[in-house]
């Protein structure tokens, strides 16, 4: 995207965020009986006439902001999300919606690149990473219905909304598998296989990131109280954000590749029902009752958040359903401390992070601790103890199909 196109996209994103905030302020001032879609639409039209800055946003994109805001309240009333609030300038992801696919006029230049028309921005080149239903391949059942521009630290990106007709998949013939998610070993499977990854940044990139963070801290230290942030400090922050965005993108790519392999290989994927928000709670405590090992717990919390277990489960959910498989959640407590061979929980069996040795005199089984937990996860499913969502919460129900308890 050219510098002029980047400025135009930035202006549209800021206008969309401003329109959201104006709409939220209007919602708070209006009585309940006047909070209707028609009144909100009239308020938006009047705001676009009174505020010249809002006219840089196409009318269709402004209507999308209105629909998204009302959908946010609907999600809140149905207890699927929190109530919508004002969007901050630096905390909000900059984005612009293109709701109509006919405005895009997508053409493929060659194997790697394509061109798309962005309203009030112009023709923009984008990286062609996936086949799109354009030209002769587009019809009433397979077509592009819109797009969304999203900006991160690496620049502007476009995501297309595609409507396609897919046949109902046949049941996946693959075997069942239990998965234990951890920090040292990200994904350990009950059949003995593991999926691991290295550092998301190279040594050179990590050294560069450390240097930039030290430079930012030094420049921030010399800034006087009440003085605005200098352009040099802003550029340093942008370079730091760029490196972190690159690491996040590599982590996301690894998750997509790994979950795709699992969904294609196994028919039923069993995972633990983890409450991650409780697991990453700070151990700082209070003044009266200060916590212990606060620094170690903070490091563990960062490692858990970095692995993004919830995003992995989300990917497995829709990928297994798309390929005819099933994802099942089971209760997490006790899976890492219970022996998968004898089924007993004996104190001291978990000798270390990686080794499990059953202290039961009649058993004595030993093996990898992560694989042992994954076998226990699969065993809970095969004995019929699966967590099924019901009325917004998870309850334990007896599954209809019961398999042998042996975990293999």
- If asked whether residues 132 and 12 sit together in one domain, one would say yes
Question: Considering its fold, how many domains does the chain have in total?
Answer: 2
What is the full DSSP assignment across 372-390? HHHHHHHHHHHTTEEEEEE
Domain that holds residue 89: 1-165
Sequence-separated (6 or more) residues with CB below 8 Å from residue 345? 334, 337, 338, 339
3-state SS of 143-171? EEEEEEEEEECCEEEEEEEEECCCCCCCC
Neighbouring C-alpha atoms within 13 Å toward the C-beta of 202: 2
The torsion angles phi and psi of 271, rounded to 5 degrees, stand at -130, 170
- If asked whether residues 158 and 186 sit together in one domain, one would say no
pLDDT score recorded for residue 103: 80
The span from the CA of 255 to the CA of 306, in Å, is: 12
Residue 248 lies in a domain: no
- If asked whether residues 83 and 192 sit together in one domain, one would say no
- If asked whether residues 349 and 264 sit together in one domain, one would say yes
- In angstroms, the Cα distances linking 27 to 61, 272, 362 are 19, 41, 68
- If asked whether residues 182 and 101 sit together in one domain, one would say no
pTM of the model: 0.79
pLDDT score recorded for residue 273: 84
- If asked whether residues 8 and 86 sit together in one domain, one would say yes
- If asked whether residues 192 and 338 sit together in one domain, one would say yes
The b-or-e profile of 301-312 (16+ CB within 10 A means b, else e) is: eeebeebbbeeb
Residue 70 lies in a domain: yes
The span from the CA of 394 to the CA of 383, in Å, is: 18
pLDDT tens for each residue of the chain, 408 residues long? 788 888 999 999 999 999 999 999 999 999 988 888 899 999 989 988 888 888 899 888 999 999 999 999 999 999 888 899 998 887 888 899 888 888 888 888 888 898 999 888 889 899 988 888 887 778 878 888 889 999 988 889 999 998 888 788 888 888 888 888 888 888 888 888 888 888 899 999 999 999 999 999 988 887 777 778 788 888 898 899 999 999 999 999 999 999 999 999 998 898 888 777 777 777 676 666 677 767 777 777 787 788 888 888 999 999 998 888 889 888 878 788 888 778 777 777 776 777 888 877 888 778 888 888 888 888 888 887 666 543 334 344 444 443 433 333
Nearest of 225, 223, 255, 219 to residue 240 by alpha carbon:
219
The span from the CA of 293 to the CA of 319, in Å, is: 39
pLDDT score recorded for residue 288: 67
Tracing tokens 């942030």 back to the chain, one arrives at 229
Residue 247 lies in a domain: no
Residue 273 lies in a domain: yes
The two tokens of residue 215 are: 């430079």
- If asked whether residues 182 and 102 sit together in one domain, one would say no
Tracing tokens 């006029």 back to the chain, one arrives at 105
pLDDT score recorded for residue 154: 86
pLDDT score recorded for residue 397: 43
Residue 337 lies in a domain: yes
């Amino acid at each position: 995207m050219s510098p002029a196109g980047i400025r135009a996209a930035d202006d549209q994103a800021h206008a969309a965020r401003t329109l959201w905030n104006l709409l939220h302020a209007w919602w708070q001032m209006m009585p309940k009986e006047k909070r209707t879609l028609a009144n909100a639409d009239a308020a938006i039209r009047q705001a676009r006439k009174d505020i010249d800055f809002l006219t840089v946003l196409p009318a269709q994109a402004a209507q999308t902001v209105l629909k998204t805001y009302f959908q946010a309240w609907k999600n809140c009333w149905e207890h699927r999300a929190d109530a919508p609030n004002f969007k901050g300038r630096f905390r909000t992801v900059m984005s612009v919606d293109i709701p109509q696919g006919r405005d895009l006029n997508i053409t493929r230049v060659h194997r790697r690149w394509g061109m798309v028309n962005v309203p009030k921005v112009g023709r923009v080149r984008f990286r062609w990473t996936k086949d799109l239903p354009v030209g002769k391949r587009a019809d009433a059942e397979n077509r592009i219905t819109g797009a969304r521009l999203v900006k991160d630290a690496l620049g502007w990106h476009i995501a297309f909304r595609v409507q396609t007709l897919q046949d109902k998949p046949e049941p996946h013939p693959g075997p069942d598998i239990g998965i234990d998610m951890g920090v040292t070993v990200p994904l350990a499977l009950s059949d003995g296989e593991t999926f691991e990854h290295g550092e998301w940044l190279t040594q050179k990139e990590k050294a560069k990131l450390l240097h930039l963070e030290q430079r930012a801290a030094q420049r921030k230290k010399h800034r006087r109280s009440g003085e605005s942030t200098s352009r040099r400090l802003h550029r340093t922050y942008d370079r730091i954000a760029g490196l972190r965005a690159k690491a996040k993108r590599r982590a996301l790519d690894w998750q997509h590749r790994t979950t795709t392999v699992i969904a294609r290989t196994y028919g039923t994927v069993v995972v633990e029902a983890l409450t991650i928000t409780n697991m990453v709670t700070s151990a700082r405590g209070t003044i009266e009752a200060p916590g212990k090992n606060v620094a170690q717990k903070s490091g563990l919390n960062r490692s858990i958040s970095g692995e993004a277990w919830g995003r992995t489960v989300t990917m497995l959910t829709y990928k297994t359903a798309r390929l005819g498989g099933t994802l099942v959640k089971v209760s997490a407590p006790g899976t890492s401390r219970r022996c998968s061979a004898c089924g007993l929980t004996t104190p001291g069996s978990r000798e270390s992070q990686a080794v499990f040795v059953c202290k039961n005199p009649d058993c004595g089984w030993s093996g990898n601790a992560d694989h042992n937990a994954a076998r226990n996860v699969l065993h809970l499913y095969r004995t019929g103890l699966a967590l099924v969502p019901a009325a917004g919460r998870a309850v334990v129900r007896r599954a209809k199909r019961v398999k042998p308890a042996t975990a293999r």
